[in-house]
Amino acid sequence: MSGGAGVTSPHDLLLLLPLVIFVAYLVFGITGFGASPITIPVLVHLLPLAFVLPLAALLDLGSALALGFHTRRQADTRELVTLVPFTLVGLTLGVTLLLRLPRPCWRSACSCAPMPST
């Protein structure tokens, strides 16, 4: 890599991407926390954010499914009966709001709203 120019070749990316993901999930395996907080900020330096966020979501989904499948016998099904309906309601509400609300103003609230005259 050249200084300040980021990743200069696809070969660098092919080496760094799996290494970053491996280290992040190694930390996650040891501590139970830290996959996305490590993966996303580091990979954003190498790849566009619009690619990194879905990648992190898919990695986390895969990790959760693998863990859930591996430990399914220890799951308390009574808790699942309580959690699943609220999860579905939250997902539905979140997606609906994401698609229907106007785009947020990324500037500070003061600069978005017109200033009242005194």
What is the overall mean pLDDT for the chain? Answer: 82
In the numeric block, which tokens belong to residue 58? 């898919």
113 compared with 104, residue with greater pLDDT? 104
Helix/strand/coil percentages in the chain, nearest 5: 70, 0, 25
The DSSP code sequence of 82-113 is: HHHHHHHHHHHHHHHHHHHSPPPP-S-HHHHS
| Residue 28 neighbours by CB under 8 Å, 6+ apart | 34, 35, 63
pLDDT tens-digit series, residues 21-77? 999 999 988 988 889 999 999 999 988 988 999 999 999 989 888 888 988 888 888
Q: Each residue of 71-95: pLDDT tens digit?
A: 888 888 888 889 999 999 999 998 8
Report the alpha-carbon distance of residue 36 to residue 72 in Å, rounded.
23
pLDDT at 7 over 60: no
pLDDT of residue 3: 46
